[in-house]
Structure 1
């Protein structure tokens, strides 16, 4: 047994109160086994993870229980003894990679520090081992010379994973390692986890609220609630034969890609206050099956081999499973939020050739250098009355910038935005203020978008004051209460005087929604409104957005990287990549009959919450390119396995083939001939290679290069229009290609891809 927790208790002291964050947690973990720790925010998952490594804040401490790791009780070790265990034997991947990396040190220096703190190793050797780890997690070794701010979110997370793997620890604790990352980056990170775990035979404790990730990565699952474990067992049993009502509620609330057309059922209420003395079953206040017996604390009992449940009624599980799938069981009526067939004729919004560029200025040896970043680059779409249009794509694809342009939070560089036939691109002062009364925005992070010094009442009343709505305070208060009621924060009076820090994440997001709808807007832009929320809260917010569409008659732009929520809520969907629409059409058609290779890649990256199914992980072929230097032709061609010679291959693609070959972790000797390349230069769409080889070896080297290029993509050699030698320099040229425009497909959607003929 690698790790054994027995009756662990970890408490915090806050405002002269004792918060029982972890209150009697027990579980076992075998060597080479992965354990998923799931549950809502505030249930004690992260505190449990931090307790194992003893990295709690100053106001927290372990007050009871055992943490037996390889025969030692970590709860009793001194700080000096713990420092020998941390990172060397137990490594941790934290949720926010940006906070885990020192912003003033280069990545390489931080990697060296991780090595030298625990083992005797020279700086050069540590950098060599770091470069090897970077190749394992899909990063170029040149990134060792970068600062954290020069890396994307996915890259920073991979750096933290490389650090965790540096010393081959037997246990890795990953706390929400993929939260708020897009599905492609998430899939790549999980793929690297599996690959590296197989290399060093480590165990993983995965802390997350994304149960689909647990289904794919973990052999065992523990479900936490209010500081205790409600149910634990094999992942298959938890997903297929759950016993506890809380587990059933979590599974029903999770939107999957395949079941997204069905109703999502949120768990009403919120977890209890852990500063109070809790008696009986901790879930009883939210459990639809609670009885008087639940006033007694249930013991955790074995209902099958190594399947433990803390519930008084395991013998009624069949009845519970059937009733838990019904909305009425959880006091919900979802008929009103189902998409109704309706004739949508009136265009509320029309966007034509919309562009947004940012001018970046930097200094170099020759003076000031100006570069243009194209965030949105020629977008066209329409939104009809009472329609929800979804925008999906990876981080950096331009989704949020597009939403801000439509809301006129940013001014477009070019193009038209027609709202009810009126061009809003150049609106100023009073006219812009009047427009914003009709259009409201719900932002991604409710933690940052609510004023911490305003009460809920002040926050929601502020738009009424700005637009001079309501004759007096009392009329405005009635509007505030009405908005809170629509946002399902009830009883309303309980929330009016609360500050944001006194609300849960889901409650804060509902306040943000109430602020948006208090003006009765005709248009709402929801930018990743559920990406940071628990599954039960997420279901409630999604159902609420549908209600707003039906009850207020509002049109909605819904921005997300989660295609499951897109399918659940949106009438039509547009797939955005590097500032352009790659595919657009009816949501069901785009999801079930995807045409563009990029759409197919996004769909393939969505994890499946079914332990019995094996999904072939997607090959993303790197990350989204730099929007400053856009690719030749189709901007997705460098990552597309189906790309043809007409798609716009260029010298940068051949350079990428060579760099990936040199960094290949398993078979570097296969690419030994690439060591003859001493320098690579990109000149427009061409690449020039400076080589060290004999004259009679030129032809064989060129054949070898083309052979390896064809292994990467069989069309790449065909795209080379000219090859020429000047001494020991080989220049390979590619033709400039036009970007494919949207064209109609047989299935009805429009797609920007040369694989489909123009009509």
Structure 2
């Protein structure tokens, strides 16, 4: 047994109150086994993880219990003894990668420090091992010379994972390692976890609210609620044969690509205040099956081999499972209002040739230099009345910028935005103010959306004052109450005088929605409104958005990287990549009959919340390119396994092949011929390689180069227009290609890909 927690209790002191964040947690973890720790925010998952490593804040402490790790009780070790355990035996991947890295030190320096703190190793040896680790997590060794701010979110998270793996620890604790990352980056990180775990035979404790990730990665699962474990067992039993009503609620609240069209369950209420004395079952206030017996604390029962549940009624499990899938069981109304026929609906918004170019200035030897970043690059689409249009894509695709352009929070560089037939691109002052009354935005982060000095009532009433709606305070107050009621914050009187810090994340997001709908807008832009929320809260917000569309008649642009929520909520979907629409059409068609290779890659990266199914992990073939120097031809060609010679291959693609080979852990043994390349120069689409051949066999070198290039993409060598030698320089020429425009596919959606003929 690697780890054995016995009756762990960890408390915090805040405002002269004792918060029992972890209140009697017990579980075991074998060597080589992964445990998923799931539950809503505030249930004690992160505190449990931090307690194991003893890295609690100063106002927290372990008051009881044992943490037996490899035969030692970590709760009894001194700080000096613990420092020998941390990183060497127990490594931790924290939720926010940016906060885990020191912004003033280069990545390589931080990697070296992690090595030299625990083992006797030279700086060069540490850098060599760091480069090897980087190759395993899909990073180039040149990134060791970068500062944290020079890396994307996914790259920073991979650096932290490489640090965690550096000393081959027996246990890795990963606290929300993929939260707010897009599905492709998430899939890459999980892939590296599995690969490295198999390599060093470590165990993982995965703290998350994304149950699909747990289903794919973990052998055992523990479900936490209000500081205690409600249910634990094998992952298959938890997903297929759950006993506790809370577990059933979480599973039914999670949207999947397969079941996204069904009604999602939203568990009413929120977890209890852990500063209060809690009696009986902690879930009883939210449980649809609670009885008087639940006023008594339930005993933990073993319902199957190592399957434990803290519930009074394991014998009624079949009844619970049948009723838990019904929204009515959770006091949730079914969405019965039907959308009007699409043929009769007119366009509310028309976007034509929309572009947003940011001018970046930098200094070079000759003075100031301008560079253009094309965030949105020629986008066309329409949104009809009472329609939800989804925008999906990786981080950096231009989704949020597009939403801000439509809302006129940014000024477009080119293009038209027609709202109800009127061009809003040049609206100013009163006309812009009138437009803003009709169009409201719900932003991603509920923690930064609301003014911390305003009560809920003041926050929602502010738009009414700005637009002079309502003759007096009491009339506006009624509209505030009505908006809160529609946002399902009930009883509304309980929320009017609260400040944002007195609300949960889900309640904050509902307040943000209430502020948006109090003006009864005709259009709503929802930018990642659920990415930071718990499963059950997410379901409630998604159900609410559909209800607002049907009851208010509002049109909605829904921006997300989560294709499961997009399938659940959106009528049509557009797939965005590097500021361009790659595919657009009916959501069901785009998801079930995807045409563009990029759409297929996104779908392949979505985890499946079914432990019985094995998914082949996606090969992202690199990361999203630099929007400053856009690729030749199709901007996705360098990552596309189906790319043809007409897709726009260029010098940068050959350079990537060479760099990838040089970053290979077995270089130079495997790619010894590439050691002869001394200089790489790119001139437009063409490449100039300076090669110092050990033998004068130029033909052999070229043959080897194209063999390796074909392994990366078979179409790359075929796209070469000409290659010739000038002394020791190999000149490689490529042709400039036009970017493919949207064309109609046989299944009905528009797709920007040369694999589909123009009509």
Q: Which category of TM-score, normalised to the shorter sequence, fits these structures?
A: over 0.9
Partner SS state of residue 483, structure 1: helix
- The residue correspondences of 1:356-435 to structure 2 (distance < 5 A) are 356-435=356-435
Answer whether contact 1:337 1:546 (CA < 8 A) is retained: no
Please name the residue that 1:231 is paired with: 231
Deviation of 1:665 after TM superposition, in Å, equals 2.8
Q: Quick one: distance in 1 between partners of 2:64 and 2:728?
A: 71
Please name the residue that 1:673 is paired with: 673
- The residue correspondences of 1:251-400 to structure 2 (distance < 5 A) are 251-336=251-336, 341-400=341-400
Deviation of 1:47 after TM superposition, in Å, equals 0.3
Please name the residue that 1:723 is paired with: 723
Answer whether contact 2:338 2:550 (CA < 8 A) is retained: no
Partner SS state of residue 395, structure 2: coil
Please name the residue that 1:620 is paired with: 620
Please name the residue that 1:46 is paired with: 46
Instruction: Kindly indicate whether residue 491 of structure 2 is the aligned counterpart of residue 491 of structure 1.
Output: yes
Answer whether contact 1:344 1:384 (CA < 8 A) is retained: no
Partner SS state of residue 164, structure 2: helix
Please name the residue that 2:446 is paired with: 446
Please name the residue that 1:605 is paired with: 605
Partner SS state of residue 696, structure 1: coil
Deviations 1:92-135 (A, max 9, x none): 00000011111111111111111111111111111111111111
Deviation of 1:659 after TM superposition, in Å, equals 1.1
Please name the residue that 1:156 is paired with: 156
Deviations 1:395-431 (A, max 9, x none): 0000000000000000000000000011000111111
Q: Quick one: distance in 1 between partners of 2:537 and 2:188?
A: 27
Please name the residue that 2:80 is paired with: 80
Partner SS state of residue 267, structure 2: coil
Deviations 1:656-702 (A, max 9, x none): 11111122235752211111111111111111111111563100000
Please name the residue that 1:21 is paired with: 21
Partner SS state of residue 670, structure 2: helix
Deviation of 1:467 after TM superposition, in Å, equals 0.8
Q: Quick one: distance in 1 between partners of 2:311 and 2:533?
A: 26
Partner SS state of residue 601, structure 1: helix
Q: Quick one: distance in 1 between partners of 2:742 and 2:106?
A: 43
Q: Quick one: distance in 2 between partners of 1:334 and 1:736?
A: 54
Please name the residue that 2:589 is paired with: 589
Please name the residue that 1:508 is paired with: 508
Q: Quick one: distance in 1 between partners of 2:16 and 2:368?
A: 57
Deviation of 1:324 after TM superposition, in Å, equals 0.6
Q: Quick one: distance in 1 between partners of 2:369 and 2:196?
A: 41
Q: Quick one: distance in 2 between partners of 1:264 and 1:37?
A: 22
Partner SS state of residue 134, structure 2: helix
Deviations 1:555-584 (A, max 9, x none): 000000000000000000000000000000
Deviations 1:321-358 (A, max 9, x none): 00111111111111336666554431100000000000
Please name the residue that 1:110 is paired with: 110
> Which one is further off, 732-741 or 657-666?
657-666
Please name the residue that 1:70 is paired with: 70
Q: Quick one: distance in 2 between partners of 1:60 and 1:337?
A: 49
Deviation of 1:751 after TM superposition, in Å, equals 0.1
Q: Quick one: distance in 2 between partners of 1:46 and 1:611?
A: 24
TM-score by length of 1: 0.99
Deviations 1:189-246 (A, max 9, x none): 0000001111111000000000000000000000000000000000000000000000
Answer whether contact 1:112 1:127 (CA < 8 A) is retained: yes
Deviation of 1:502 after TM superposition, in Å, equals 0.6
Answer whether contact 2:505 2:533 (CA < 8 A) is retained: yes
Answer whether contact 1:197 1:203 (CA < 8 A) is retained: yes
Please name the residue that 2:692 is paired with: 692
Q: Quick one: distance in 1 between partners of 2:41 and 2:238?
A: 20
Answer whether contact 1:344 1:385 (CA < 8 A) is retained: no
Partner SS state of residue 332, structure 1: coil
Partner SS state of residue 680, structure 1: strand
Q: Quick one: distance in 2 between partners of 1:469 and 1:112?
A: 61
Residues 224 and 658 of structure 1: CA distance in aligned 2, closer, same or farther (over 3 Å): same
Answer whether contact 1:4 1:28 (CA < 8 A) is retained: yes
Partner SS state of residue 125, structure 2: helix
Q: Quick one: distance in 1 between partners of 2:407 and 2:299?
A: 54
Please name the residue that 2:741 is paired with: 741
Partner SS state of residue 507, structure 2: helix
Please name the residue that 1:468 is paired with: 468
Q: Quick one: distance in 2 between partners of 1:684 and 1:108?
A: 32
Q: Quick one: distance in 2 between partners of 1:647 and 1:69?
A: 55
Deviation of 1:446 after TM superposition, in Å, equals 0.6
Instruction: Kindly indicate whether residue 135 of structure 2 is the aligned counterpart of residue 130 of structure 1.
Output: no
Q: Quick one: distance in 2 between partners of 1:260 and 1:116?
A: 49
Partner SS state of residue 582, structure 1: strand
Q: Quick one: distance in 1 between partners of 2:101 and 2:170?
A: 23
Residues 321 and 340 of structure 1: CA distance in aligned 2, closer, same or farther (over 3 Å): farther
Deviations 1:300-324 (A, max 9, x none): 1110000000000001101110011
Answer whether contact 1:337 1:543 (CA < 8 A) is retained: no
Deviation of 1:731 after TM superposition, in Å, equals 1.3
Answer whether contact 1:336 1:547 (CA < 8 A) is retained: no
CA RMSD, Structure 1 to Structure 2 (Å): 0.9
Instruction: Kindly indicate whether residue 524 of structure 2 is the aligned counterpart of residue 561 of structure 1.
Output: no
Q: Quick one: distance in 2 between partners of 1:353 and 1:343?
A: 25
Please name the residue that 1:657 is paired with: 657
Answer whether contact 2:443 2:529 (CA < 8 A) is retained: yes
Answer whether contact 1:248 1:321 (CA < 8 A) is retained: yes
Q: Quick one: distance in 2 between partners of 1:705 and 1:699?
A: 10
Answer whether contact 1:651 1:686 (CA < 8 A) is retained: yes
Q: Quick one: distance in 1 between partners of 2:208 and 2:164?
A: 18
Q: Quick one: distance in 2 between partners of 1:149 and 1:427?
A: 36
Partner SS state of residue 669, structure 2: helix
Gaps of at least 5 residues in structure 2 are: none
Residues 379 and 113 of structure 1: CA distance in aligned 2, closer, same or farther (over 3 Å): same
Q: Quick one: distance in 2 between partners of 1:8 and 1:694?
A: 65
Q: Quick one: distance in 2 between partners of 1:151 and 1:303?
A: 48
Answer whether contact 2:335 2:547 (CA < 8 A) is retained: no
Q: Quick one: distance in 2 between partners of 1:52 and 1:632?
A: 51
Instruction: Kindly indicate whether residue 709 of structure 2 is the aligned counterpart of residue 709 of structure 1.
Output: yes
Gaps of at least 5 residues in structure 1 are: none
Q: Quick one: distance in 2 between partners of 1:428 and 1:103?
A: 41
Q: Quick one: distance in 2 between partners of 1:541 and 1:462?
A: 22
Answer whether contact 2:676 2:694 (CA < 8 A) is retained: no
Deviation of 1:359 after TM superposition, in Å, equals 0.5
Answer whether contact 1:92 1:172 (CA < 8 A) is retained: yes
> Which one is further off, 724-733 or 482-491?
724-733
Instruction: Kindly indicate whether residue 5 of structure 2 is the aligned counterpart of residue 9 of structure 1.
Output: no
> Which one is further off, 55-64 or 673-682?
673-682
Q: Quick one: distance in 2 between partners of 1:614 and 1:338?
A: 37
Please name the residue that 1:92 is paired with: 92
Answer whether contact 2:339 2:386 (CA < 8 A) is retained: no
Q: Quick one: distance in 2 between partners of 1:335 and 1:650?
A: 51
Partner SS state of residue 732, structure 2: strand
> Which one is further off, 407-416 or 466-475?
466-475
Partner SS state of residue 63, structure 2: strand
Q: Quick one: distance in 2 between partners of 1:269 and 1:529?
A: 19
- The residue correspondences of 1:181-260 to structure 2 (distance < 5 A) are 181-260=181-260
Q: Quick one: distance in 2 between partners of 1:218 and 1:688?
A: 48
Q: Quick one: distance in 1 between partners of 2:686 and 2:3?
A: 56
